[in-house]
Structure formats: structure tokens, C-alpha cells
Amino acid sequence: MPVTDALKLTCASCGQANRVPAARLADAPKCGVCGSVLVDGKVAELDAATHDKVTRGDGLPVLVDYWAPWCGPCRVMAPEFAKAAGALQGEARLMKLNTEDHPQISARAGIRGIPALILYRNGREVARLAGARPAADIIAFVRQHAR
């Protein structure tokens, strides 16, 4: 199989990089180290180290929700973000980073207000979206900027 047919996906649970055939994304591929599902249409919680690995090198676009537990709009948007994750399964991975637990990451990313959504593709930031949004807006945002 040519290398171009495989995507690098970082496991949100253990941080291990995995090579996954593009044609197998719909088959719920698992991490070769810890067995966690890599593409399951669910939102994964990131820590600082895994955030950097995922945003700098994943083969699928990654949308990160920068949030905090005390933020009302963040809590309101959480179920909408989860709906969008399910709808975008196989197209993009949706993940969350708690800015209260990881202030150094939010400072480095230039987060000035939350919730803040940043879309990463091929190791670079490609677009931002501020404020709580319904699932339809999140899906449209990813599809517009992920290509």
C-alpha cells in the first residue's frame, strides 16, 4: 500500500502516533498501544502533550474547542460540539482542551475568550471561530475550511 493511502492519527488517550489506511477510517481504527478507538465520532479530551502532537501532525483536520468548566456558554455548546463530532466522523476529529487546566496552551494559542474553536490541518492553524455555536454552524465551519 502506498504511503499516501495512510494517515497519521495521534491517540488522544496515550499520545501514540498510529498509521491508519484512509480506506479504514470508517472501521473504528484502534491505537496500536492502548487500544482506544482513534476515529469514533466522539469528542476527546486533550492534555498539553497530546494537544501538541495532535495539532502538529494528524492526517485528518482537527477542531479543538478551548473551554473551561466555569464558562456557561462552553457548557451550553458541549452537546452541540458532540453532535458535530458525530456528523464529521471520518472527515475531522473534534477535541477539547480545558484552558483552566492548561493555561500555557491557551496562552500560546492566543485564546482571548472562550469558547474558542481552532481548526488545524497539516500541522497548522487554518481557521478560528469564537463563541458558542450550534452543531450546524460547527459542521459548516469545518467543511468550509478543512479542504
Q: CATH code at 100?
A: 3.40.30.10
In the chain, at which residue ranges do the beta strands (DSSP E only) sit? Answer: 6-10, 17-21, 44-46, 62-67, 93-98, 116-121, 124-130
- Establish if 6 belongs to a structural domain: no
Active-site annotation holder among 14, 31, 34, 71: 71
In a domain, 1, yes or no: no
Instruction: Encode pLDDT of 47-81 as tens digits.
Output: 999 999 999 989 999 999 999 999 999 999 999 99
pLDDT at residue 5, rounded to an integer: 82
Using alpha carbons only, how large is the chain's radius of gyration in Å? 14
Catalytic annotation present for 31:
no
pLDDT of residue 57: 86
| Range of weakest confidence among 2-6, 39-43, 98-102, 119-123 | 2-6
Residue 58 falls inside a structural domain: yes
Give yes or no: 71 in active site. Answer: yes
Query: In this predicted model, what pLDDT tens digit does every residue of 78-132 receive, in sequence order?
Result: 999 999 999 999 999 999 999 999 999 999 999 999 999 999 998 999 999 999 9
Asked whether residue 126 is domain-assigned, the answer is: yes
Examine residue 80 and state whether it is found in any structural domain, yes or no. Answer: yes
- Looking at the 3D structure of the chain, how many domains does it have? 1
